[in-house]
Structure 1
Amino acid sequence: MATPSSASLPPPRKRRLFLRWPFVLGVVAVIGYGLSVAMHWDDRGQLWIKERFESTAERSESVWLPDYIADIDAKVLPGMADDEASDLAFNPHTRTLFAVMGNNPFLVELSLDGDVLRKMPLLGWDNPEGVAVLEDGQIAIVDERSHDLTLVKVDASTTSLKRDDFKRYDLGKSADDNKGFEAIAWDPVRQRLVIGEERPPKLFTWNTDGRSPLIGDKQPLPNDQLDLRNLSALGVDPRTGHLLALSADSNMLLELDENGEQVSFMTLLGGFNGLNNRVPRAEGVAMDDQGTLYIVSEPDLFYRFKKH
């Protein structure tokens, strides 16, 4: 009986390579699936498909994040490289922005072009991570380390703020003390503060007219659609009342409607929405009354997006 010649069989090394390929492909598939779940790419894929079927009328009734293009991309906030920009809020009365810095606590007022107008030290704060502008010069500041919210008053003459001069509100303990309450936004349409826990992402509301002291306690807000790895910041579109949820870990900004349903999203990776590079660590988001979108990133970067 004839035996196969050595020329008819692939070399041993090549045979081992052929046998190894299915294993390698299997490992890649498992890693890819795990990564897609961790990054919620599966959810984003479903939302991307859903976006394609939205009518022009439905898009016009929402923020519609896919239409936003960066016109200020990674502008450096001077002198703040060590301060860690943590959140951002729009003031419709002064038509300026207020940002908090978490590492060296202070409140900074910015022009809508990202120019620094003034810096106000926050004396007594541990780790301010969230800021929201309410009514009559009242500003809410969330301190993640202290698990509380402080309502302060700011006017044109304010040069610094001392925490002991203002009333504080306990937000309670978080599931993870190091990933606690750090997101806050004022919803003028529904007269409430929306407060967010970083990880796992959770939402709460606190009803207020924006002028008076807070009464009662925060209430949980259903957030089944908050498919994000973490929650870095919150914003509210003052025109529609839609919620903007920012996630640094997911490199994403998500729009939710009044029922908490996902409407649209924007990725914060380079090559998308006019961005040259990935937003390093997006920590603050705000939208003005004209629909212009603003984002700040650690350590000291400012972004502006306009709808096209």
Structure 2
Amino acid sequence: MATRPLPSAQTSRRPRFFMRWYYWLLLVIVAGYGLAFAMHWDDRGLLWVLERFESPTERKESIWLPDYQAVIDGKALPGMEKDEASDLAYNPQTKTLFAVMGKNPFLVELNLQGDVLRKMPLMGWSNPEGLTVMANGLIAITDEREHMLSIVKVDADTRELQRDNFPKYDLGTSEDQNKAFEAVAWDSRNQQLLLGEERPPALFTWKSDGSQTLSGDKQKLASNELDIRNLSALAIDPRTGHTLVLSADSHLLLELDETGEQVSFMTLLGGFNGLKKTIPRAEGVTMDEAGTLYIVSEPNLFYRFEKQK
């Protein structure tokens, strides 16, 4: 009787190796798709393509974030390594910046090069996360943990701030109570505060005449263009009226026009826009009247970007 030859070890190993390779490839594809979905790379890719068709006039009428380059890249704020920089705002009256520290609550004034001018303890705040400069020395500060907004008065002689000395406004409940109102920006054109919830990202407005008195209640805005993982900070460009939306989790700065449509974006990853390293956790953004852009990142890093074209 003829005997059938036994399969060689090489033949038997080949199918197993092929299946192993196939599963690894499938795993990589699924993981890559999941990462792209989570980071909204498909949306960024579409916006990048649409940016190519913007005319020079349209670019000139916007902030146009692709043209910005870092000129101060990750400058450390001295002595604030454990304080967690949470937001940043420009004061056009003093030509200085104000940053709020969330872990150990205090307000710090900086010059436009990121040098510390003074530090002011915030007494009574639990977790200050957002701030914006209004008019006449007024600064609005959000407390994310207590869902509270305060409007304080700061002048050249201010050395500390007591929350109970200033008007407070209840921001109400959020879908995620632990990821609530983290961002605020003063919109002088429309005489209102723009408020941002961290997760899921959402925008609200609250009418104001620029004083310490708010009118009515906050109103929710359509947020269809907020395809970001979280919302860390907001700023209004005083020249165009466009809104800057910062996302730490997405490593992204997004420009929205007056209707809320996406115009341009800037990635905060190392190797782009003059950044040597990825911004670790971008938590605050602001812009001055010249169009210079400023960002702060946890734990205590300062960035300045200027338009190069």
Quick check: TM above 0.5?
yes
Alpha-carbon distance, 1:217 to partner: 0.9
Q: Aligned residue for 1:115?
A: 115
What amino acid does structure 1 have at the position aligned with 2:18? F
Please list the CA deviations of residues 140-197 of structure 1 after superposition, one character each: whole Å capped at 9, or x if unmatched: 0000011010000000010000001001001001111110101001112222110000
Q: Aligned residue for 1:89?
A: 89
Name the % identity.
Answer: 66
**TM-score normalised per structure 1:** 0.96
Partners in 1 of 2:196 and 2:25 — Cα distance? Answer: 40
Partners in 2 of 1:287 and 1:189 — Cα distance? Answer: 15
Partners in 2 of 1:215 and 1:207 — Cα distance? Answer: 5
Q: Aligned residue for 1:207?
A: 207
Alpha-carbon distance, 1:4 to partner: 7.8
Give the number of aligned pairs.
307
Change (3 A) 1:3 1:52: farther
Partners in 2 of 1:136 and 1:50 — Cα distance? Answer: 40
Partners in 2 of 1:298 and 1:202 — Cα distance? Answer: 22
Partners in 1 of 2:29 and 2:179 — Cα distance? Answer: 31
Structure 1 residues 146-185: aligned runs within 5 Å: 146-185=146-185
Structure 1 residues 45-84: aligned runs within 5 Å: 45-84=45-84
Alpha-carbon distance, 1:10 to partner: 4.6
Partners in 2 of 1:160 and 1:107 — Cα distance? Answer: 8
Please list the CA deviations of residues 55-101 of structure 1 after superposition, one character each: whole Å capped at 9, or x if unmatched: 11111111010110000000000010010000000000100000100
**TM-score normalised per structure 2:** 0.96
Alpha-carbon distance, 1:280 to partner: 0.5
What amino acid does structure 2 have at the position aligned with 1:199? R
Q: Would you say 1:137 and 2:137 are equivalent positions? A: yes
Partners in 2 of 1:238 and 1:179 — Cα distance? Answer: 28
Extract structure 1 runs of 4+ deviating beyond 3 A.
Answer: 1-7
What amino acid does structure 1 have at the position aligned with 2:249? D
Partners in 2 of 1:2 and 1:97 — Cα distance? Answer: 88
Partners in 2 of 1:241 and 1:173 — Cα distance? Answer: 29
Alpha-carbon distance, 1:27 to partner: 1.7
Partners in 2 of 1:145 and 1:228 — Cα distance? Answer: 22
Deviates more, 1:185-194 or 1:12-21: 12-21
- Contact 2:138–2:212 (Cα < 8 Å) also in 1: no
Q: Would you say 1:272 and 2:279 are equivalent positions? A: no
